Amino acid sequence: MTFGAPAAGGLGAGRQAASAGTWQLGDRTVNRLGFGAMRLTANADGSPSDRDRAIRVLRQAVGSGVNHIDTAAFYFSPLRSANELINRALAPYPDDLVIATKVGPGRDPSGAWLPLATPAQLRGQVEENLRQLGRDHLDLVNLRIHGRKPIAELFGALAELRDAGLIRHLGVSNVQPWQLAEAQAVAPVVAVQNPYGLGYRRRYDPLLRTCAEQGIAFVPFFSIATTGREAGVVDAEHDEVRAVAAAHGVTAAQVRLAWALNRGPNVLVIPGTGNPDHLVENMAAGALRLSDEELARLETIHQAPGAE
């Protein structure tokens, strides 16, 4: 199955996402430049997204070489479900496509957040992702945690579902180093998905290095939006980022993605968008190479006092 049209920036269709290199995610090889589905379901003002455009963006992403998509059953708006958009756009799925999802949190039909799932409830969440995506197994399931709490029991429930054949690989999300170690004592962890970006959550620098040493993927989210989080980029951009972007004729968002990819060979970025033009820009960031001098300038931002 082939999606999309030739990509911008001098690389043909299917090659842009590969420009940043690959990573071995368990027994699957993925391009380090992936796609996050969170922004497919609603516009920045909260209104429902355009269904046809969201489907077009997904097909365009895969046509650009994306073979790692991050999603969740709790990514939905009153009229849109990210999982069902992915199913509609991409099924039957390409053989090399890895779809990663998250369980733990949940939302009721009104969109209100529910308490973190119990071990017994996790099976229902896994099965809901399977139903929405139209799959008989999930490639990667990340246990999403909120707060400093033991996770062995929850992770053990997912390990049982992996042993039953419903899940291929396991990861953790929004965790502290000790929670990663606790999960690893239960079952192998192939990915850690945490908030991280330039000047944002630098406390996870050691965790990123630990993951690299252990062959675990580190998947940052909010790497462009940073403190804007779900609302998107809201703060004025730093002068140094703008200067580096201007020197390359690219956007600040592309510089931030290139910086994240440079943090280690195990870093897999998952920028999300519902805008076809922004997708082209995000894909082009994989080929952006920052000089040592530029990386040093950006590091001063990352290490600046007061950076979150």
Confidence grade of residue 93 (pLDDT, cut at 50, 70, 90): very high
Structural domains in the chain, CATH included, are 28-302 (3.20.20.100)
pLDDT of residue 226: 67
Place of tokens 């390409």: 94
Confidence grade of residue 57 (pLDDT, cut at 50, 70, 90): very high
d(CA 145, CA 40): 23
Residue 75 appears among annotated catalytic residues: yes
Which run of H or E residues covers position 88? helix 82-90
pLDDT of residue 233: 54
pLDDT of residue 147: 86
Q: What is the pTM of this model?
A: 0.93
pLDDT of residue 43: 84
- Tens of pLDDT along 126-135? 999 999 999 9
Of 1-5, 72-76, 184-188, where does mean pLDDT reach its minimum? 1-5
Cα–Cα separations (whole angstroms), residue 270 to 48, 68, 99, 126, 153:
22, 8, 12, 21, 28
Contact 172, 143 (CB under 8 A): yes
Contact 278, 56 (CB under 8 A): no
With a cut of 80, say whether residue 52 has pLDDT above it.
yes
| Distant-in-sequence, close-in-space partners of 138: CB < 8 Å, separation ≥ 6 | 99, 101, 126, 129, 130, 166, 167, 168
- Tens of pLDDT along 5-33? 434 444 455 578 899 999 999 999 999 99
Higher pLDDT, 307 or 206: 206
Confidence grade of residue 48 (pLDDT, cut at 50, 70, 90): confident
| Distant-in-sequence, close-in-space partners of 221: CB < 8 Å, separation ≥ 6 | 36, 70, 193, 194, 195, 196, 270
Confidence grade of residue 227 (pLDDT, cut at 50, 70, 90): low
d(CA 32, CA 292): 21
pLDDT of residue 305: 85
pLDDT of residue 4: 47
Place of tokens 């390990």: 159
Tokens in use for 120? Answer: 């017994």
